[in-house]
Amino acid sequence: MPPAPHTPAAEAQDHAALVVALDAGDLAGAELLAAESLAASCTGCAALVHDLAAIRGAMTALPVPPRRRDYRLTADDAARLRPFGWRRLLEWLAAPGSTVRPLAAGLATLGVVGLLLTSGLPGLLSGFGAGGAASSPLMAPAESPVDNAAPGGSGDVQFQGTYAPEAAPSGAPGNEPGLAATAAPAAVPNAAPSGDPAAVAGEAATADPTVERVGATGTSDSPPELGKAAGPDAASTVPLPALVSLALLAAGLALLAGRMVARHRLT
């Protein structure tokens, strides 16, 4: 980049900058000597030096308008500025620079990522390996219902219960879908708690849609037990990481909602 042309205006600006620095006492060494010589030889620079000193001197006598307000704090001001109880919580939530927003965003992000990992990632992995899917109950519906509906099948027992509602119609074409869906969850509670392979095999056999349908329609020996066990144990098929992720997501969203409400109430 070529240097700026040395015009009289630019030179005057340079001189003024040097003189004002001289007036402020900000120069030393060669610059000081140059500025002093400039002030002595240039009438305009000398006038500038005198004017700056005069303005600086007048500055101390600058008039101040009278104070028209009493700035003492009232009890209401104090309560508003240092809130207690729920109002303090609201203030914290609504504060512009508070940590609420990043915290909420972080929690929600962790929750979403956790949910994706616990549900989506195993599904992706199962595309590359046959056994990989067995580790994730949430992705189980992607499996072929025909395989799981087979009586005495060697598949995971959990799959039996999970798939039963869909599997029953294909496994037993003549059955009423509603009946099969009702009976299906019974296979899970009976099989899942038992780690014994023999028991698993036995329970897997009971997952046969035909047997379950009979039980569900009231012809089984113990239909009430089947119905009773189905409710609470069905929830245990949701893995803990997924529950934690869901809780994190909910907490993050709740914080964001709380912040919105707090801001709305305080404005």
Partner 1 sequence: MDDPRSTTTGERTAAERPFTRPGDEAAARRDEILVARALDGDLTAFNQLVEAYQDLCHSLVARLVPDPDQAADAVQEAFFSAYRHLRSYRGPSFRGWLTRIAVNAAMDLQRARKRRPVSPYPELEDESWQPPAGPETDPETLTVAAERGHALAAALAAIGSDQRAAIVLFDVEGYDYAEIARMTGVSLGTVKSRIHRGRLALRAILAERMELFRS
* Interface with partner 1 (CB under 8 A), residue from 10, 33, 40, 54: 54
* Interface with partner 1 (CB under 8 A), residue from 33, 40, 55, 260: 55
Instruction: Spell out, one character per residue from 78 to 117, where the chain touches partner 1: x when CB under 8 A holds, - when not.
Output: x--xx-----------------------------------
Rounded-to-integer distance, Cα 163 and Cα 155, Å: 11
266 binds partner 1 (CB under 8 A): no
77 binds partner 1 (CB under 8 A): yes
Contact (CB, 8 A) for 158 and 193: no
| C-alpha distance from residue 50 to each of 140, 157, 164 (Å) | 90, 98, 99
Rounded-to-integer distance, Cα 18 and Cα 80, Å: 52
The CA dihedral of 21, 25, 27, 30, to the nearest 10 degrees, is 110
Please enumerate in sequence order all residues whose Cβ is within 8 A of that of 52, keeping only pairs 6 or more positions apart, or say none.
19, 20, 23
* Interface with partner 1 (CB under 8 A), residue from 1, 4, 5, 68: 68
Tokens in use for 158?
Answer: 């959990």
64 binds partner 1 (CB under 8 A): yes
Contact (CB, 8 A) for 114 and 247: no
Contact (CB, 8 A) for 218 and 166: no
Q: Among 43, 39, 1, which Cα is nearest to 17's?
A: 39
Query: How near is the Cβ of 61 to partner 1 at its closest, in Å?
Result: 6
Query: How near is the Cβ of 2 to partner 1 at its closest, in Å?
Result: 25
203 binds partner 1 (CB under 8 A): no
Nearest residue (CB) to partner 1, 60 versus 154: 60
72 binds partner 1 (CB under 8 A): yes
Query: How near is the Cβ of 264 to partner 1 at its closest, in Å?
Result: 22
* Interface with partner 1 (CB under 8 A), residue from 2, 3, 66, 85: 66
Site residues (vs partner 1, CB under 8 A): 16-17, 20-28, 36, 48-52, 54-73, 75, 77-78, 81-82
